[in-house]
Amino acid sequence: MDWLKNEAKNSEIPMLILTALLFNLVYSLIAADILIHFSNIKLPKIELEMPICNYKTFIILFTFALREELFFRAPLLLMNYFPDDKKFRYALIMAIMLSAAFGYLHGGSSNILVQGVSGFTLCILFLKTGGINKKGFKALMICTIAHFCFNSFLALILALHGKSTF
Protein backbone atom coordinates (compact mmCIF):
# COMPACT_ATOMS: atom_id res chain seq x y z
CA MET A 1 0.00 0.00 0.00
CA ASP A 2 2.92 2.32 -0.62
CA TRP A 3 0.92 4.12 -3.31
CA LEU A 4 -1.44 5.34 -0.60
CA LYS A 5 1.26 6.25 1.91
CA ASN A 6 2.86 8.81 -0.38
CA GLU A 7 0.78 11.97 -0.28
CA ALA A 8 0.24 13.63 -3.65
CA LYS A 9 2.38 16.70 -4.24
CA ASN A 10 0.65 20.00 -4.98
CA SER A 11 1.55 19.75 -8.67
CA GLU A 12 -0.07 16.29 -8.88
CA ILE A 13 -3.39 17.29 -7.31
CA PRO A 14 -5.08 18.81 -10.40
CA MET A 15 -4.31 15.64 -12.38
CA LEU A 16 -5.67 13.48 -9.55
CA ILE A 17 -8.90 15.51 -9.49
CA LEU A 18 -9.24 15.30 -13.27
CA THR A 19 -8.56 11.56 -13.26
CA ALA A 20 -11.13 10.98 -10.51
CA LEU A 21 -13.71 13.11 -12.35
CA LEU A 22 -13.22 11.37 -15.68
CA PHE A 23 -13.28 7.92 -14.10
CA ASN A 24 -16.43 8.73 -12.13
CA LEU A 25 -18.23 10.20 -15.13
CA VAL A 26 -17.39 7.36 -17.50
CA TYR A 27 -18.00 4.65 -14.92
CA SER A 28 -21.28 6.18 -13.69
CA LEU A 29 -22.68 6.53 -17.20
CA ILE A 30 -21.71 2.98 -18.17
CA ALA A 31 -22.87 1.41 -14.89
CA ALA A 32 -26.20 3.26 -14.93
CA ASP A 33 -26.77 2.26 -18.56
CA ILE A 34 -26.05 -1.40 -17.76
CA LEU A 35 -28.39 -1.32 -14.76
CA ILE A 36 -31.17 0.27 -16.77
CA HIS A 37 -30.90 -1.92 -19.89
CA PHE A 38 -29.82 -5.33 -18.59
CA SER A 39 -31.69 -5.72 -15.32
CA ASN A 40 -35.05 -5.14 -13.77
CA ILE A 41 -33.53 -2.56 -11.44
CA LYS A 42 -35.04 0.86 -11.73
CA LEU A 43 -32.89 3.77 -10.73
CA PRO A 44 -34.75 6.13 -8.41
CA LYS A 45 -36.23 9.24 -9.93
CA ILE A 46 -35.67 12.21 -7.69
CA GLU A 47 -37.32 15.47 -8.63
CA LEU A 48 -36.13 18.46 -6.63
CA GLU A 49 -37.73 21.07 -8.91
CA MET A 50 -34.55 23.10 -8.63
CA PRO A 51 -33.66 25.12 -11.74
CA ILE A 52 -30.47 23.96 -13.42
CA CYS A 53 -29.40 27.23 -15.03
CA ASN A 54 -29.38 29.49 -12.01
CA TYR A 55 -26.56 30.92 -9.90
CA LYS A 56 -28.24 29.52 -6.76
CA THR A 57 -27.94 26.04 -8.22
CA PHE A 58 -24.16 26.15 -8.03
CA ILE A 59 -24.25 27.41 -4.45
CA ILE A 60 -26.59 24.55 -3.55
CA LEU A 61 -24.45 22.01 -5.44
CA PHE A 62 -21.36 23.18 -3.56
CA THR A 63 -23.21 23.03 -0.24
CA PHE A 64 -24.47 19.51 -0.99
CA ALA A 65 -20.97 18.41 -2.00
CA LEU A 66 -19.43 19.85 1.18
CA ARG A 67 -22.09 18.26 3.38
CA GLU A 68 -21.61 14.86 1.75
CA GLU A 69 -17.83 15.09 2.00
CA LEU A 70 -18.07 15.91 5.70
CA PHE A 71 -20.37 12.95 6.25
CA PHE A 72 -18.76 10.34 3.98
CA ARG A 73 -15.06 11.27 3.80
CA ALA A 74 -14.20 13.07 7.05
CA PRO A 75 -14.64 9.85 9.14
CA LEU A 76 -11.51 8.60 7.38
CA LEU A 77 -9.58 11.06 9.54
CA LEU A 78 -10.06 8.61 12.42
CA MET A 79 -7.51 6.38 10.70
CA ASN A 80 -4.80 8.84 11.76
CA TYR A 81 -5.16 7.51 15.32
CA PHE A 82 -4.25 3.94 14.38
CA PRO A 83 -0.64 2.69 14.28
CA ASP A 84 1.03 3.21 10.90
CA ASP A 85 1.21 -0.52 10.19
CA LYS A 86 -2.62 -0.82 10.41
CA LYS A 87 -4.05 2.53 9.41
CA PHE A 88 -3.79 2.06 5.64
CA ARG A 89 -5.54 -1.31 5.69
CA TYR A 90 -8.23 0.01 8.02
CA ALA A 91 -8.59 3.14 5.88
CA LEU A 92 -9.36 1.03 2.80
CA ILE A 93 -11.88 -1.08 4.73
CA MET A 94 -13.56 2.06 6.07
CA ALA A 95 -13.49 3.62 2.59
CA ILE A 96 -15.39 0.61 1.20
CA MET A 97 -17.98 0.82 3.99
CA LEU A 98 -18.44 4.58 3.59
CA SER A 99 -18.70 4.20 -0.18
CA ALA A 100 -21.37 1.53 0.10
CA ALA A 101 -23.33 3.82 2.43
CA PHE A 102 -22.79 6.74 0.01
CA GLY A 103 -24.22 4.70 -2.87
CA TYR A 104 -27.09 3.29 -0.83
CA LEU A 105 -28.18 6.70 0.45
CA HIS A 106 -28.13 8.03 -3.12
CA GLY A 107 -30.90 5.66 -4.18
CA GLY A 108 -30.91 2.22 -2.62
CA SER A 109 -28.94 -0.95 -3.09
CA SER A 110 -28.70 -0.64 -6.87
CA ASN A 111 -26.83 2.64 -6.47
CA ILE A 112 -24.06 0.98 -4.47
CA LEU A 113 -22.73 -0.22 -7.83
CA VAL A 114 -23.05 3.20 -9.42
CA GLN A 115 -22.46 5.98 -6.92
CA GLY A 116 -20.77 3.73 -4.39
CA VAL A 117 -17.83 3.32 -6.77
CA SER A 118 -17.74 7.08 -7.30
CA GLY A 119 -17.73 7.48 -3.54
CA PHE A 120 -14.80 5.08 -3.28
CA THR A 121 -12.89 7.14 -5.84
CA LEU A 122 -13.50 10.24 -3.70
CA CYS A 123 -12.33 8.33 -0.60
CA ILE A 124 -9.08 7.43 -2.35
CA LEU A 125 -8.69 11.06 -3.47
CA PHE A 126 -9.28 12.16 0.14
CA LEU A 127 -6.66 9.76 1.50
CA LYS A 128 -4.15 10.47 -1.26
CA THR A 129 -4.35 14.26 -0.84
CA GLY A 130 -3.60 14.30 2.86
CA GLY A 131 -6.52 12.75 4.71
CA ILE A 132 -4.36 9.88 5.92
CA ASN A 133 -1.53 12.25 6.87
CA LYS A 134 -3.44 14.53 9.25
CA LYS A 135 -4.17 17.13 6.58
CA GLY A 136 -7.91 16.73 6.73
CA PHE A 137 -8.95 20.26 5.79
CA LYS A 138 -6.85 20.20 2.62
CA ALA A 139 -8.18 16.76 1.65
CA LEU A 140 -11.76 17.77 2.46
CA MET A 141 -11.56 20.88 0.28
CA ILE A 142 -10.01 18.98 -2.63
CA CYS A 143 -12.72 16.30 -2.48
CA THR A 144 -15.46 18.90 -2.13
CA ILE A 145 -14.21 20.69 -5.24
CA ALA A 146 -14.02 17.39 -7.16
CA HIS A 147 -17.52 16.40 -5.99
CA PHE A 148 -18.89 19.86 -6.90
CA CYS A 149 -17.32 19.64 -10.37
CA PHE A 150 -18.85 16.19 -10.89
CA ASN A 151 -22.31 17.39 -9.84
CA SER A 152 -21.96 20.55 -11.97
CA PHE A 153 -20.97 18.50 -15.00
CA LEU A 154 -24.03 16.29 -14.53
CA ALA A 155 -26.18 19.44 -14.29
CA LEU A 156 -24.63 20.65 -17.55
CA ILE A 157 -25.43 17.34 -19.24
CA LEU A 158 -29.04 17.60 -18.06
CA ALA A 159 -29.28 21.19 -19.30
CA LEU A 160 -27.85 20.22 -22.70
CA HIS A 161 -30.52 17.51 -22.95
CA GLY A 162 -33.27 20.07 -22.45
CA LYS A 163 -34.04 19.57 -18.77
CA SER A 164 -34.70 22.80 -16.92
CA THR A 165 -34.93 21.36 -13.39
CA PHE A 166 -33.37 18.54 -11.38
Assigned domain for 19 exists: no
**N residues, the chain:** 166
User: What's the total number of domains in the chain?
Assistant: 1
pLDDT at site 55 = 78
Task: Indicate whether 57 pLDDT > 70.
Answer: yes
- Is 113 part of any domain? yes
For the segment 89-104, what is each residue's pLDDT rounded down to a tens digit?
999 999 999 999 999 9
Q: Determine, yes or no, domain membership for 136.
A: yes
For the entire predicted model, the pTM comes to: 0.88
Residue 36 located in a structural domain: no
With a cut of 60, say whether residue 85 has pLDDT above it: yes
Residues 42-51 have a mean pLDDT of 61
Q: Is residue 4 part of a domain?
A: no
- Structural domain span for residue 79: 59-166
